[in-house]
Structure 1
Amino acid sequence: MWPRIANRRCARLPLGSDLSIEGNVMPQNRSDFDGLPSAGPARPEDVIEDLGDGLLLRRARSEDIEANAAFQSVVQADPPDFEPFEHIAHWVRQLMDGSHPICRARDFLLVHDTRSDQVVSSLGLLSHTLAYDGIPVPTGMPELVGTHPDYRHRRLIARQFAEVHRWSEERGQLLQIIDGIPWYYRQFGYEMAAQNMGGLYQGRSLLPGEPVKGLGVRAAIEADAPFITRCFDHGMKRYRLTCRRDEAFWRFELSGRHGFSTQTRFLKIVETDSGEPRAVFNHVPILLDHGWTRTPMFEAAPGVAWPEVVDAALFFLREVGAELASQSKQEHAGAALVLGTEHPALEVLRGRGGRPRRPYAWYLRVADPVGFLKHVAPALEARLVGSPYQGHDGELALSFFRSGVRLHFEKGQLREIAEWRPSTEEVGDVSLPDLSFLNLLFGHRSLVEIADAFPDCQITRRQALVETLFPKQPSFLMPTS
């Protein structure tokens, strides 16, 4: 059943959502919801709100694991057949059973129909630490958002998002991220503002037919965690927004992950014949997108040249792809390097005939722009060093039309960042409509690109200063799920 997950992240239909546009949702098989396990007892201390009609919004407990796992396996099913997806159930069980490093049962919300004793809507909040130019940023990630088709259009998801946003604020999380369906999460204050996947699809005929002399590929083991961490940390320096991953996380990936979870990835080490590790990559343990071996992460050790380790990895992916194709009775299409649009491996493969894949995007939410800017002020100050604005004195007013922020610099240091309200008399230096500022803040779009996309983006003055503070730069997010 796993190949049906191929199109989940870029699905064009809001399948599990209760605020979807009327007429655009393909009907799910309601009979698949029949006979699901009952929810655990609705204890008074867990109830957040009585929603009426027998519906209770409450926090989950360990007694709800099987009910929520079964519910999610159905509500997250893909078109056109909507078969219950058991690998989702395995993932939910691990998120809730206490064995996952960043999530517990209490991190899930349920809408419990007390008349049928069923879970009819649910979502969870995973807690991460991301990094903005290396600065740790506490982050929340809503995940596994879904509602039974008979309960949609009642704003159940909207109510749950209000609650998890409150949780996130209580946890001191300055940022929320979602990997989700098109448009939907904009309703809750999110903007697509960081690159998601994309990369290069290298057809099987373009993959090396022979191994690279002196190099081989083996399965990673727990003892490789320090090496993997070093490679990953080194590679993340090229990006604006990244996920922090320590040795404990990699050990979880290697030996703690439920083998049947949709999140399972196989980690591999490229090493010399003498056993010296040179690079690390991972791959999904099944073929996706009609026969492709997908690699979402690939990093080399500092100082290692990329061409040979890329060819060693591609030869391995050719071999493992043929084996997976034989097991699943498919044709092996090739290797999908979903590493974003700017990665050393893709530079090595430039001109070799691969097919670029346009990236999707992560949804980002910053409820308190002033607080976030204060938190990452050292990164903004560092961008002035070596630029024409080194030692800059002055102010910069960024308008969001109904609100804004003012940044005050003294000798290149941010002495004050404060809320500011634009007016007819003072429109500010740059006016950024809607949530387009998040594209600028996270390097997803340049100021000129935003102005080209939004005619009401007004650049009144200080364009060069804004471009120095907020240059375009890709991000790479691979959060623990």
Structure 2
Amino acid sequence: MVNEYRFQHPETREDYEQLYEVMRRSFPDEDVDIIVRRLVEYHPEMSNTDYFMVKHGDKAVAGLVLIPQKWSIDGEELNVAEMGCVGTVPEHRRKRIQWILNKEFDEYAKSKGYDMCVLAGIPYFYRQFGYQYAVELDYETEIEVNILPEETSLVSRAFKEEDIPEAQRLLEQTQNRYLVHSIRTPEIWKMQQETRTYGAEPFKSTAILDDHKLVAYYRWWVEEKVFNVKELAFKAESYVDDIAACIRQEAMKQKAEKIKTKLSHEDDFSKYLIERGAEKNKPYGWQIKLLDPRSFLEKLGPVFEKRLAESKFKGLTKELCMNFWKYKIKLEFREGKLVSVETVSEAKRVLGMNPYASIQLFLGYRSREDLEYAYPDFYIRGGNEGLIDVLFPRKPGYIHYCY
């Protein structure tokens, strides 16, 4: 059945129109075709090879998009390929067409030097392609508008393009609290301002000033009398009360009854709302796959060295042989430096690293103890528990959209 289909990247205007039609038919009334068209027309880094389609005869019947990004893990920059807008028209489903697209996606991502593939898609389906939940996603915190303070000395106005450099500094300051976070370039800032979309959703943006200086900004949208704060960054925690009052004033102006933030529960503003009785959800998760685990661990060398230097394992000289059951990787440390990361043929059953769950450890999503409890085939022996805890600490991540 798969032989009836052929893969290609769009090359002509007609190809792109067919890709948009695939999205329209795959996601009726969800405007996914508009999202793809917006990426084609506005994204500063994407080219035709970032759009994937499968044809049956001369008609496109399935497609997806690779959205290039940069993420940081404890200060180390990684190349990330987000798989988005994955769709197959109804009459061609259940014919393993997505296997064709995923194979092409992985091969292309490897050839372009991406470290990870990620997606924010539906539950379970992508496990068959090797994806695992590994970074928090879709936080919500909700509170009644009238609970927030009314008065503030700060001034609010519409966000302007000239605010971007300072807003970027505020965002980066906020992101430093997270083990894993995204890196948004000035070009992406400008694209988001021009299209007024954050991820796939519309937004308006407000700047907050203290003595004519930008001290905070937030992105928002109102839906069904709920004032949704999609992104917020501010200069210092001392501004939280005033920022809450500014948001309340705008929410009242928009006739909203509730305020809902999409910020991490670790964010200072989220904590402020939770202390005042806000309800919070259980977040979803980014699904992530490592394209080359050996290369990934090697790239984290500076991170490991920093963590060792700040721990009781400073100056460590040791070999760690990780048995991932399907493959084995040896990390060699000498005087606190990672000197080699090699794939080996033999490894004792001392560090039993479930190959699917281990990414949760690497990205701080779950602790060693969490994984040992959940997976009998994940275990740390030989007195290495403390060392693994230092190399792979549990710490939340948060991804601000970069398209």
TM over 0.5: yes
Which of 241-250 and 352-361 deviates more? 241-250
Map of 1:219 onto structure 2? 158
Deviations 1:301-322 (A, max 9, x none): 2x45242243134314522542
* 1:440 alignment partner, one of 361, 380, 383: 361
* Structure 1 counterpart of 2:228, one-letter code: R
Deviation at 1:459, TM superposition (A): 2.1
* Structure 2 counterpart of 1:184, one-letter code: F
CA separation of 1:320 and 1:384: change in aligned 2, threshold 3 A: farther
CA separation of 1:310 and 1:400: change in aligned 2, threshold 3 A: farther
1:279 aligns with 2:200: no
Map of 2:266 onto structure 1? 342
CA separation of 1:362 and 1:386: change in aligned 2, threshold 3 A: same
Cα separation, 1, equivalents of 2:62 and 2:355: 29
* 1:238 alignment partner, one of 172, 177, 181: 177
Cα separation, 1, equivalents of 2:119 and 2:198: 23
* Structure 2 counterpart of 1:459, one-letter code: I
1:267 aligns with 2:205: yes
Cα separation, 2, equivalents of 1:75 and 1:313: 41
Map of 1:34 onto structure 2? none
Asked if 2 retains the 8 angstrom alpha-carbon contact of 1:306 and 1:348, the reply is no
* Structure 2 counterpart of 1:57, one-letter code: F
Deviations 1:267-296 (A, max 9, x none): 221112x3221112212x341xx5432223
1:474 aligns with 2:396: yes
* 2:93 alignment partner, one of 141, 152, 158: 152
Cα separation, 1, equivalents of 2:200 and 2:334: 50
* 2:43 alignment partner, one of 100, 103, 109: 100
With normalisation by structure 2, the TM-score equals: 0.93
Cα separation, 2, equivalents of 1:439 and 1:250: 29
Cα separation, 2, equivalents of 1:235 and 1:260: 17
Cα separation, 2, equivalents of 1:315 and 1:222: 24
Cα separation, 2, equivalents of 1:337 and 1:249: 22
* Structure 2 counterpart of 1:93, one-letter code: R
Asked if 2 retains the 8 angstrom alpha-carbon contact of 1:130 and 1:136, the reply is yes
1:300 aligns with 2:300: no
Deviations 1:122-174 (A, max 9, x none): 11111111111122111111110011121111110111110011111111111
Deviation at 1:259, TM superposition (A): 6.6
Deviation at 1:260, TM superposition (A): 11
1:67 aligns with 2:18: yes
Deviations 1:358-382 (A, max 9, x none): 1100011112111011112101110
Cα separation, 2, equivalents of 1:182 and 1:391: 43
* Structure 1 counterpart of 2:227, one-letter code: T
Which of 304-313 and 131-140 deviates more? 304-313
With normalisation by structure 1, the TM-score equals: 0.78
Deviation at 1:420, TM superposition (A): 3.2
Cα separation, 1, equivalents of 2:17 and 2:86: 17
Deviations 1:373-406 (A, max 9, x none): 1112101110112211111111222222222322
CA separation of 1:260 and 1:132: change in aligned 2, threshold 3 A: closer
Cα separation, 2, equivalents of 1:261 and 1:464: 39
Matched residue SS, 1:349:
helix
* Structure 2 counterpart of 1:111, one-letter code: V
| Unmatched segments (≥5 aa) in structure 1 | 1-49, 78-83, 323-331
Map of 2:7 onto structure 1? 57
Cα separation, 2, equivalents of 1:399 and 1:279: 47
Asked if 1 retains the 8 angstrom alpha-carbon contact of 2:148 and 2:248, the reply is yes
* 1:414 alignment partner, one of 338, 350, 353: 338
* 2:68 alignment partner, one of 121, 127, 149: 127
Cα separation, 2, equivalents of 1:268 and 1:91: 23
Map of 2:301 onto structure 1? 377
- Cα RMSD between the aligned structures? 2.2
Map of 2:276 onto structure 1? 352
Map of 2:192 onto structure 1? 253
Which of 165-174 and 101-110 deviates more? 101-110
Deviations 1:414-444 (A, max 9, x none): 1111123455xx212x212241110000000
1:463 aligns with 2:402: no
Matched residue SS, 1:342:
coil
* Structure 2 counterpart of 1:390, one-letter code: K
Cα separation, 2, equivalents of 1:348 and 1:266: 23
Map of 1:452 onto structure 2? 373
Which of 409-418 and 259-268 deviates more? 259-268
* Structure 2 counterpart of 1:96, one-letter code: V
Map of 2:325 onto structure 1? 401
Matched residue SS, 1:427:
coil
Cα separation, 1, equivalents of 2:74 and 2:381: 28
